[in-house]
Structure 1
Amino acid sequence: MSENNIFDKPEYFVNRELSWLQFNERVIEEARDRQNPLLDRIRFLAISQNNLDEWFMVRVASLAQMAHAEVKKKDAAGYTPKEQLELISAAASEHVKLQYQTYTRVLVPALKEHGIKIVKPSDLDAATLDYFENYFNREIFPVLTPMADDQTRPFPFLANDSLNIAVRLSKENQAGKTKLFATLQVPDNVFKRVIAVPNQDKHFVLLEDIIKQFVECLFLGYTVKETATYRVLRDMELDVAENEDETPNLLKEVQARLAERERGDVIRLECESTMSQHIKKRLQAALQVANVRTYDVNGPIDLTFLSDVAKQVTDVPALSYPNFTAYEPTELMTGNIFDVIRKNDQLLHHPYDTFKPVVRLIQQAAIDADVLAIKMTLYRVSGDSPIIKALGQAAKNGKQVTVLVEVKARFDEENNVHWAKELERMGVHVIYGLKGLKTHSKIAMVIRREGDEIRRYLHLGTGNYNDVTAHFYTDLGLLTADTNIGIDAANVFNILSGYSEQQYFHELHMSPDGIREFIEAKIDQEIKNAQAGKPAKIQIKVNSVSDAGLVRKLYAASNAGVKVELIVRGIAILRVGIPAVSENIELHSIVGRFLEHSRIYIFANNGQSEVYLSSADLMTRNLNRRVELLFPVHADNLKQRVLSIYNTMWMDNIKTRVLQSDGSYQKIDRRGVQDSLDAQGAFMAEATQKIKAQKHAEKEAELTERFTPLNNPFEE
């Protein structure tokens, strides 16, 4: 029997979507954890809402499309798309209940203890209510557009993720009372949704509640019988039909699909729990939404507003995480960065090490007279990216600048289309990647003339070239001038920009296919070592493990006696503790202050550990349908640092949840444990110590320079 058949039983796997919901529950747990600062707890709940929205708009929408097409293919856990929808519908309902129990029973009382309240207009005194009535009439009323739904005016189109108010009305006429219906969109894209109550410190009222309070003035001559808030989420999968034409047409295709996507099918309807059945049925009929996709919400719809509450409470520092300053390596922030990289490879661990050296590499390349060209990939960048500006400056200064902008990066398509156009306007040669593939690799290459030779300087990373998210995503980046890696990088860009089918790489491994083959070969080697009685161990840190083929490979390793340690932030479709299958696999998940985003692959290699970093998770899309890179860490000191980072995370006993054999995740029982370790806290403390040591060294150097006596001209 083949290895695949041995480990291919559905009971050995967890459904991907159920595993994702478990991950989001871990985010909600952080909102419930009293050890976290209160304002960050409400941020965690807001994050869980944003996560859930994206999951519905992409994953649930994809399953719905497959079910509609009557796709019968089963996932690794043995479920068809239709069965998965049924399975996750009930789980998602419980998930939403947990969110709102956390909000109403845990966070609202905790906020009140600190004088922070989300109030209703009915809670306001007469003077304050007059203030909001004036505000409504002056500011909000002119913007509102009530939309009737009757025989002559059909139900209006509702934009994705829009907050709306359903209004049931009546009018006396000769035939008696007539039931009428209208809807209006809450203009939270124009006005702040969270509005501070004047003269009431840390009291807030929501925009939709103000509108509902004074909504009658929009329907003169009618009686408002009921108002209820609701929200729709649509299918937001971007289906780009790529063709053989030139890449600028891909840009046009993405732009066209973005417009079409806004009109995707409604995948989720959220209704205020007080909404009457009459209105709910009317909405379901108009939006063509079934009961299983309709969710009653016991509280304010769309909890992402909590992030705005946290932003507006600025006078209580103790309610938020203390400010953290990243370490800035002096050698990379002063002088010639190329000299430093040429001398030694450099490893950056964000956000504990600043992202500035990565930006500085491109900025210095833009003005360095010896730099001939810059090539890089961009998947997600910030709204005001200094890297984009530096690339434009480089092109202006006569450098050859080539940038691959991935215009199909999910939910960043519009931003990336904008930057692609801006870069072209600045004289940068922009390419859009390979047909049918997303380019998710993170690589920058600077080509520099040094005397009679050409040298390549590289940055390879696990995370995006985004200077904003680099403050709260944990990632690793390597700066190197390694010759073989440089040759490989040049070949990668030739593949991306031209017609090249590279058959061999010295150091890099590239998906599709290449990373999978490499990891499988490394696992096979560990299996052989275990069977020969040699040290055998696999340590992997990724965001998700959802590729069934590699899970089976890890099962084979476990079965052979290889110790497998996995740190997985999100989805994990494997099970642990199955006799003769996964007894040697242990899986930890860390959810904390920073978003764990780095990807690390470590193989014991008979006591001579091999360390690799990558942009790729163990997901089928990363291994089969994306351009990803996996790269080695060679320098002994940097290799030891990565090993130390991994081991510190593995020893975390505060933010870690451990996957159990029953499929649940449990925090580590610290009763009787003397040493508590929060890995992220440890890395922050380490960065703070390095900053102190750096300042001390600078002060010592200054004092030494100031008080060094001049040479005595009269001495011999």
Structure 2
Amino acid sequence: MENKYDNFINRELSWLEFNERVLEEASDITNPLLERLNFLSIVSSNLDEFFMVRVASLIEQVQANFEKVDFAGLSASEQVKRITIRVHQMVQKQYSVYMELNSQLKNVNIFILKPKNLNENQVEFVRTYFHKNVYPVLTPMVVDSSRPFPLIMNKSLNIALFIDGMEDEEAIFATVQVPSVLDRLIELPMDKGDEKAYILLEDIIKMNISDVFRGHNIKNMACYRITRNADLSIDEEGAEDLLEAIEQSVKNRKWGEAIRIEIEYDMDNALIGILKEELETSLGEFYSIKGPIDITFLSKLNSLIHIESLKYPNYNPVPIPEFISAPNVFSAIAKQDILVHHPYQSFSCVVDLVKIAARDPKVLAIKQTLYRVSGNSPIVKALMEAAENGKQVTVLVELKARFDEENNIIWAKRLEKAGCHVIYGLLGLKTHGKILLIVRNEYDGIKRYVHMGTGNYNDVTANFYTDMGLFTANPYIGEDASALFNMLSGYSTIDEMNKLYIAPTGLRKKFISLIKREETNATKGKKGHIIVKINSLVDKEIIEALYKASKAGVKIQCIVRGICCLRPGVTSVSENITVTSIVGRFLEHSRVFYFYNDGEEAIYLSSADWMNRNLDRRVEIMFPIEEEQNRNKIKHYLDVCLSDNVKARTLKSDGTYVRAICKENDEKLNSQEYFAKKAIKQVKKAKKHEKEQKFTPITSY
């Protein structure tokens, strides 16, 4: 009898396979050296969030004796065991790669030095730097009968040590936090001008630790770092002021339960014993690190070192061809739906639209959802300017966007102060949909302009996340956008819309019906074909619908960047399903859905992945691509992604991934490089066409 769990891959183990693919990019010799170091940094930051949220949740389940299994048949305790084994393997490989890349840095005259490698001049520099910049910031904490073990902040780097006690007393435990307010990489003076050398801040502190504990001998010392449970738990119904409740919860995040303790590999056993006892953790939660703890600092090397050959070739996003020759943005959008593809095409088109709308006397109102924005967001500034110019500005700021809560709280307060109507979404739901509505008074009456996208209104991440967006003046979509904002502000409910599909009210049902339609057509002997490009495929109902469609003969091609719980290639279950993952220079983030529909192809973009949270616990938007030119662009886009034989990996039925095979005579296709070159060609063509239009000679009267 078939085991009902065999057809699914555990979510957490699948995520770890995604992080392994990022680690593979750090090992890939075809990537420039500094970019490989950046991938190593991403592996570390990914693991931080994974432990703070996913592993923390599993440990809470274990502590509550919740032993119900997931759809892959694993209980919380079994998942924690497997995760621990897998992460120990991953970290060991990560630091092996780090040592290799550190060696390669030396070959290009870049050095990350240890104290023993410093010359006299550098030792003197470090001593001066310590006393001038570091010593005033340090707060040494001693643990004895009158001073309890201090609260160690989440993700802070610390030095644990034993100092001699007074007279015959036992050694005393002390801890010093490496100040996060100071740079971790400190540049050292070098004799040769073409050489760069750095030392880590913790090594500077270690070299001068005797000055921190004057009169005591230092017996042992080693670095450690704690990752804490950082998942926010907020009773929204009980919170009179959601803004205030989230502000408090963000502060509490620093002190959640310890989930993982990273220690230097040669830390004294007695020091480990104290950490284990005081943090109430098991030895399995300790990760012995043979190298610097927390190598997220490696990403800084990209901005510190200006050697272009060690980085990806510079790529500047290009303008949108449709906007180049148009009199203004509104006339361009009114003429046709405009599909944009970031970061190949510039995100400034979205920023500029909001800026222009803020100053346009014909614009009456601007409404926008904000999930994640940059720290210096030009969009938020434009919305504030619009309100100050007397326009009706409504902004939904999602306060519950994980790890962006603090930033969003700051913007929410500023927007309110500028006169914007700020709303925080619906009770119990995150608003993850990306939509902008501009209401304009034109000569023939009120007209609505809408932008919708697969990614956030963040001008910084738009430079390295691949996303798609649509500008439209379609009156039906404009009407839907108004209805959606009325729902979000609490004035109405949504029954059915003209063009848009919204979670949690109807999006799941729509996806199931689209899959089922392909299944029905295949059952009738017709062609059935589904292509999806998403970040995560986790939802059990969706996966089971895909399995049914596969059994009926539907060809299903999934491009899933991250987690995939669907198991492809299983006999009599998913033989017609393939899963591809692309990990490259840019973070694949767009959500695209294609259904053959007996030749009447249905194509959609969405803010939603195929996850329970997206379909049931978030406000998400899916919108159709209707104009033929744009539909062809998306079909071509999917074809190219599926043809990638450089950065693509294929998911095997055992849950592991293998690189796409590029045969000797095959032309190499890196989809991201292809789209970058294509965008440049398109804009050159548009500029040439504009020039020809402006200088067309008069041939007759």
Matches within 5 A, 1:496-645: 496-645=488-637
Identity of aligned pairs, percent? 47
Letter in 2 for 1:283: L
1:134-192 Cα shifts (integer Å, max 9, x gaps): 1112221111111001111111111111000011122462x3x63111000001x2221
Contact 2:239 2:245 in 1 (8 A): no
Structure 1, 524-533 or 282-291: larger mean CA deviation: 282-291
Partner of 1:170: 164
Give the aligned partner of residue 228 of structure 1: 222
Q: How many residues in Structure 1 have an aligned counterpart in Structure 2? A: 697
1:277 aligns with 2:269: yes
1:325 paired residue among 300, 308, 316: 316
Structure 1 residue 309, shift from structure 2 partner: 2.1
Q: State the AA in 2 paired with 1:110.
A: Q
Aligned residue number for residue 366 of structure 2:
374
Residue 451 of structure 1 and its aligned partner are, at CA, apart by 2.7
The structural deviation recorded for 1:116 is 1.6
Q: What's the counterpart of residue 239 of structure 1?
A: 233
CA drift of 1:69 comes to: 1.6
Residues of 1 paired with 2:411 and 2:46: CA distance? 25
Query: CA deviation digits over 1:571-623, x for unaligned, max 9?
Result: 00111111110000000000000000000010001122110000000111001
Paired residues of 2:354 and 2:379 also in contact (CA < 8 A): yes
Partner of 1:217: 211
CA distance in 1 between partners of 2:2 and 2:659 (Å): 28
Partner of residue 658, structure 2: 666
Unaligned runs of 5+ in 1: 1-5
CA apart distance, 1:129: 0.5
Deviation of residue 697 (structure 1)?
A: 4.2
Amino acid in structure 2 at the alignment position of 1:616? A
Deviations 1:219-272 (A, max 9, x none): 1221111110110111100111102776xx111111121122221111111000
Q: Distance in 2 between matches of 1:404 and 1:233?
A: 32
- The aligned amino acid for 1:45 is L
Taking structure 2 as the reference length, the TM-score comes to 0.97
Are residue 45 (structure 1) and residue 6 (structure 2) matched? no
Residues 1:427 and 2:419 are matched in the alignment: yes
For residue 63 of structure 2, what is the amino acid of its counterpart?
Answer: H
The answer to whether structure 1 residue 353 and structure 2 residue 348 are counterparts is no
| Amino acid paired to 1:21 | L
What is the CA distance between 1:329 and its match in structure 2?
2.2
Among 70, 73, 76, which residue is 1:75 paired with?
A: 70
Superposed displacement of residue 357, structure 1: 1.2
Work out the CA distance in 1 between the residues paired with 2:175 and 2:446: 65
2:115 maps to 1:88: no
Q: Which amino acid aligns with 2:234?
A: V
1:388-403 alignment runs, 5 A limit: 388-403=380-395
Alignment gaps of 5+ in structure 2: none
Matched-pair contact (CA < 8 Å) for 1:327–1:690? no
1:648 has 2:643 as partner: no
> Secondary structure of 2:40's match?
helix
Q: 1:691: Cα distance to partner?
A: 3.5
Preserved CA contact (<8 Å) 1:403 1:431 = yes
State the Cα RMSD in Å.
Answer: 1.7
State the distance in 2 between where 1:228 and 1:687 align.
51
Deviations 1:312-370 (A, max 9, x none): 111x1011001112120254266321111111000000001111111111111111122
- Partners of 1:340 and 1:513 lie apart in 2 by 33
Q: Which residue of 2 aligns with 1:185?
A: 177
| Counterparts in 2 of 1:11 and 1:82: CA distance versus 1, 3 Å | same
SS at match of 2:256: coil
CA deviation digits over 1:604-659, x for unaligned, max 9? 01122110000000111001100001110000000110111111111000000001
Cα deviation 1:638-694 (Å, max 9, x = unaligned): 011011111111100000000112221000222334211000000011122223334
Partner of 2:473 in structure 1?
481
Give the match's secondary structure for 2:553: coil
Residues 193-241 of structure 1, C-alpha deviations (whole Å, 9 max, x = no match): 0011112522111000011011011112211111101101111001111
Rounded to whole Å, the distance in 1 between the matches of 2:457 and 2:680 is 24
Is contact 2:322–2:338 with CA below 8 Å preserved after alignment?
no
Partner of 2:202: 208
Alignment partner of 1:611: what SS?
A: strand
Asked if the contact 1:443–1:460 (Cα under 8 Å) also holds between the matched residues in 2, the reply is yes
2:362–2:442 Cα contact (<8 Å) kept: yes
Q: Deviations over 1:110-143 (max 9, x none)?
A: 2222122211111011121011111112221111
Moved more, 164-173 or 590-599: 164-173
Aligned partners of 1:245, 1:265: CA distance in 2, in Å?
A: 23
What is the CA–CA distance in structure 1 between the aligned matches of 2:359 and 2:677, rounded to whole Å?
Answer: 36
